Amino acid sequence: MPDIASKIGSSVSQLTREFDIIAHNLANVSTVGYKRRCNKFSQLLTDRQAGTKTEAGNEANLCSAFDFSQGSFTETGRTLDFALCGKGFFVLETPEGPLYTRNGMFHLNQNGQIVDSAGKIAAGESGPISVPPDVGLSQISVSSDGSISAAGTVIGKFRLVDFKDNESELTAAGLNCFKAPQDLTPQSPDNLIVKQGYTESSNVQMVEELVDMIMVSRLYEANMKFLSVGGEASKSLLNVAMG
């Protein structure tokens, strides 16, 4: 009984974690460029109960993956809104090193540099991209490859990167950004298109998340009920043994 109780207790902990992740996904259903966090422990548990075999080592990765699939596009008409079509990321410069994001809602800081909402500088291929002070926003245009022109003059190009098959090694860095391990080198993206005046919506599918939440809740309740019944049974046996 102790071994069974331990396993069920572990399952309850994993289900609680999955519930929190689903809730976080739902909270970001409207966050630009958000990539949903994956967690399928409940599915693994259901498969086990049905006698379905799962791949070895699969359980360890159930809570660590992001779904980097493309979100839909929303036209904003705003000059410094950009969406990425295809696999890849914008690069943001920080004192701790580069971060990567799909959120292309930028603006200009007091120095005329293109930055994100938190003030992190959008990296260009030759460093920060600065817009001349005498150029209005309506004079800024960005081509599909990320080249930026101000009043007809090219002033820089977004640094765009991809991690190919190593995307799963990225970890959350807060504010819809990701960081890469030091030994993971970003590569040039293939067929990545920059769309000016658009944003990429969150790839969270609300209905799917709600269905998953219901499944997790039911499994949680079932496991808690088993623990409760098992606890009462152990207590009864102890009382009998003690006379």
User: 19-39: per-residue pLDDT in tens?
Assistant: 999 999 999 999 999 999 987
d(CA 182, CA 169): 11
- Tally of domains in the chain: 2
Shared domain for 32 and 126, answered yes or no, is no
Instruction: Quote the pLDDT of residue 9.
Output: 56
pLDDT at 15 over 80: yes
pLDDT band, very low/low/confident/very high, at 1 (cuts 50, 70, 90): very low
pLDDT band, very low/low/confident/very high, at 229 (cuts 50, 70, 90): low
Can you tell me the mean pLDDT for 213-220?
Answer: 87
Shared domain for 227 and 113, answered yes or no, is no
pLDDT at 236 over 50: no
- Say what the pTM is: 0.82
Shared domain for 125 and 196, answered yes or no, is yes
pLDDT at 142 over 70: yes
Can you tell me the mean pLDDT for 55-60?
Answer: 47
Quick one: which H or E segment has residue 14?
Answer: helix 2-27
Can you tell me the mean pLDDT for 113-137?
Answer: 96
Can you tell me the mean pLDDT for 183-206?
Answer: 97
d(CA 178, CA 97): 11
Burial class (CB in 10 A: 0-12, 13-18, 19+), 238: exposed
Can you tell me the mean pLDDT for 4-30?
Answer: 81
Can you tell me the mean pLDDT for 173-188?
Answer: 95
Domain that holds residue 59: 2-67+204-241
Instruction: Quote the pLDDT of residue 53.
Output: 54
- DSSP class of residue 191 equals S
Shared domain for 81 and 123, answered yes or no, is yes
Instruction: Quote the pLDDT of residue 197.
Output: 98
pLDDT tens figures, 58-111: 544 455 589 999 999 999 999 999 999 999 999 999 999 999 999 999 999 999
Instruction: Quote the pLDDT of residue 243.
Output: 41
Shared domain for 18 and 129, answered yes or no, is no
Tokens 């493309």 locate to 70
Shared domain for 141 and 230, answered yes or no, is no
Pick the more confident residue, 226 or 174: 174
d(CA 148, CA 176): 24
Shared domain for 99 and 174, answered yes or no, is yes
Shared domain for 126 and 157, answered yes or no, is yes
Instruction: Quote the pLDDT of residue 86.
Output: 97
Shared domain for 80 and 63, answered yes or no, is no
Q: What is the mean pLDDT of the chain?
A: 85
Shared domain for 6 and 97, answered yes or no, is no
User: How are beta strands 99-101 and 89-93 bridged, if at all?
Assistant: antiparallel
Shared domain for 57 and 144, answered yes or no, is no
Shared domain for 111 and 223, answered yes or no, is no
Burial class (CB in 10 A: 0-12, 13-18, 19+), 27: exposed
